[in-house]
Structure 1
Amino acid sequence: MTFSIAARCAETGQLGIAISSSSIAVGARCPWLLAGVGAVSSQNITLPALGPQALAQLEQQVSPDQALQQVLDRDGFGAYRQIIAIDAQGRSAYASGSQTLGIHHARSGEQCVAAGNMLAGTAVVDAVVEAFENASGHLAERLLHAMLAGLAAGGEAGPVHSAALKVVGELPWPIVDLRVDWAEHDPLGELQSLWQAYRPQLQDYIDRALNPAVAPGYGVPGDAR
């Protein structure tokens, strides 16, 4: 009921996750990122705590493979979890427990790792990885392109209803954090529209945060600039 990709931009060092699910508000539970450290998606029968726990391990320079093994051993229900991780060096890892739902698959690629469960077929994850590897542009665009390729390859076995896109860079907060918590149809399409609307404003919001005195105005009543 979920497929996702975690990736790193080799040029900027940015880290990001794109994810879609049949469940409501997948972005509230599954994607976890820490600037300069890594990105983790905890899915299937989700335990949100695995994301921060794995990031804490990555922050201590533990390899992604070891980080996932440690948090799953501590959880005690690893058979029910599916989790992917990538660190700031581009190293990646994945785990799919024996109780992962339906058709499932996970795969690492160049600067990326993807996984899914309750899929139409294993080719979905392969399409996600290969599309990301062959895409160009901003990391957020590459992530969305990869997810749309997975959807075109069959996506989930049933309808999806939520999607999310998160990217971190050098700043301690996400520079992209967009969510579609519920859509009857095509949450990934709605997420893509959100990104297209947000991208021209992305740098403005960073500038406003870092130096309000010279930041561009909002263009609303009462705004002096």
Structure 2
Amino acid sequence: MTFSLVGRCAETGMFGVAITTSSIAVASRCPWARAGVGAVATQNVTDPRLGNQGLDLLEKGMSAPEAMNALMAKAHSPEHRQVTMIDAKGRTAFWSGAKTLGTNNVAPGEDCVGAGNLLQNPDVPAVMAKVFAQSKGRHLADRLLLGLEAGIVAGGEMGPVHSAGLLVVHEQSWPLVDLRIDWSDDNPIVRLKRLWEDYQPQMDAYITRALDPNAAPSYGVPGDMGDEK
């Protein structure tokens, strides 16, 4: 019911996940990332516990393949799970259990790994990974969204998708980008891209407000004394 792209920017050290599905609120349970550590996507019949558990193993110093083996060895009902992972060195790992739904596939690429289930065709993950690799030099969020869009063009899911999410972490303990479309009868990826385009110009200001409020720009809303500066 889902396809996703997990990626890393080798230049900035950012990690992120872009994901979409036919179900509601996919971003609330499937994408996981931790600054300086890596990123995980857990999908198909989702067990959200696997996200933080996988990141904990990476943070202990395991490579992505080592962490995936340890994670799935203890996972509940692993035959139902589809999980992808990338570590701080760009190494990837993946798992697709025997009961992963419909046409499914996984495609590791340079600093990324794409995966999906209930797909129109098995080429979707490889197309996403290829587009991600071709978009070096752009912000990681842009690259992830470009890959997700390419997945739709390549066939996407068997049915329409209704929710999508974009998660990117960088230097702080909280996400740099955490955007989602929890339900849309139209293409949620288009709406997610517009949301990212609106958010990006304000993104750094929210970091400054957290770390150094006195140097932060105003919110520019009625009643904000800073808007007089």
What band does the TM-score fall into relative to the shorter chain?
A: over 0.9
Alpha-carbon distance in structure 2 between the residues aligned to 1:193 and 1:118: 26
Alpha-carbon distance in structure 2 between the residues aligned to 1:22 and 1:28: 14
Contact conserved, 2:18 with 2:145, CA < 8 A, in 1? yes
In the other structure, the counterpart of 1:29 is 29
Matching residue's letter, 1:159: P
In the other structure, the counterpart of 1:12 is 12
State TM-score, norm by structure 1: 0.98
Identity of aligned residues (%): 51
RMSD of aligned C-alpha atoms?
Answer: 0.8
Contact conserved, 2:8 with 2:15, CA < 8 A, in 1? yes
Matching residue's letter, 2:53: Q
Alpha-carbon distance in structure 1 between the residues aligned to 2:32 and 2:151: 21
Alpha-carbon distance in structure 1 between the residues aligned to 2:110 and 2:122: 19
Matching residue's letter, 2:167: K
Matching residue's letter, 2:148: M
In the other structure, the counterpart of 1:182 is 183
2:102 counterpart of 1:102: yes
2:203 counterpart of 1:202: yes
Deviation of the 1:76 alpha carbon: 3.8
Deviation of the 1:132 alpha carbon: 0.2
Alpha-carbon distance in structure 2 between the residues aligned to 1:63 and 1:72: 14
Matching residue's letter, 2:147: A
The size of the alignment, in residue pairs, is 225
Runs of 4+ in 1 over 3 A off after TM superposition: none
2:72 counterpart of 1:72: yes
State TM-score, norm by structure 2: 0.97
Matching residue's letter, 1:7: G
Alpha-carbon distance in structure 2 between the residues aligned to 1:16 and 1:94: 16
Q: Please list, as runs of the form range in 1=range in 2, the aligned pairs for 1:146-161 lying within 5 A after superposition.
A: 146-161=147-162
Q: Which moved more, 1:75-84 or 1:92-101?
A: 75-84
Alpha-carbon displacement from aligned partner over 1:47-90 (angstroms, at most 9, x marks no partner): 00011111110001111112112121212411110000001111
In the other structure, the counterpart of 1:46 is 46
Matching residue's letter, 1:23: S
Q: Which runs of 5+ in 2 are unaligned?
A: none
In the other structure, the counterpart of 2:135 is 135
